[in-house]
Structure 1
Amino acid sequence: MTAETGAARPPSALVPPGERGATRIADRVVAKIAAQAAREAVRPLPADAATPHATVVLLHGSARVRVHLELGYPGDIGAHCAAVRRHVAERVSALAGMEVSEVAVQVERLHPAPHGRA
């Protein structure tokens, strides 16, 4: 309530915008978003491949992401990695609202296609 009029102030008038607080998204949440984005980018995964996982370092609203995954072979490994980098950066930016300064893709293992398929 204001002293002059006795009327209630709207909630936004109580605290200036720069002092209302901040939203903090935990590293592990961003890592889960990145891992899910990597799964989306490399579908279908080889049948015996481990699920992609990610680690994240957050600094001043910017994310550095490292994605660990397994890919099928033969295949265009460079193109797969580029697609993962692009999709992870887009999804983390869209869902977590932060800049992605780096996405490093680490291919842990290659899975050969079953015999008779190439």
Structure 2
Amino acid sequence: MRRLLRVVAAFCCALSVPAIARAGETPSSSAASHARTAEAKKSDRALTRDVRRALGNTRGLNAQGIRVMARHGVVTLSGTVRTLDEMNAAEHVARSVPGVQSVANKLTLFRGENG
């Protein structure tokens, strides 16, 4: 009987060691993860702002209908433009902004009220 109790006690201790080790790591790794996430969001907002500003300062490009979203250096352009030249110019300008790794051009041509 004593031997069985020792085996059960040893088994319970063995099971609890990994849980205790993980519990000790969780707060610091969670805080580091949160800090990286907050920094990434801040960087994404800054990149979005920079691309919007560059689009708005480009002559011959009406950027009012263009939405910009950045995530980890990938910029997505969506919305409408009036010409194919504006569509290509918007992508070119976005690619030229420092920090942009790639551009997903989801812009469409505005066809007017009658499509």
Normalising by structure 1, report the TM-score.
0.47
TM-score by length of 2: 0.48
Higher relative contact order (CA 8 A, sep 6+): 1
Larger Rg: 2
User: Which structure shows the bigger proportion of residues in helix conformation?
Assistant: 2
In proportion to residue count, which structure has more strand?
A: 1
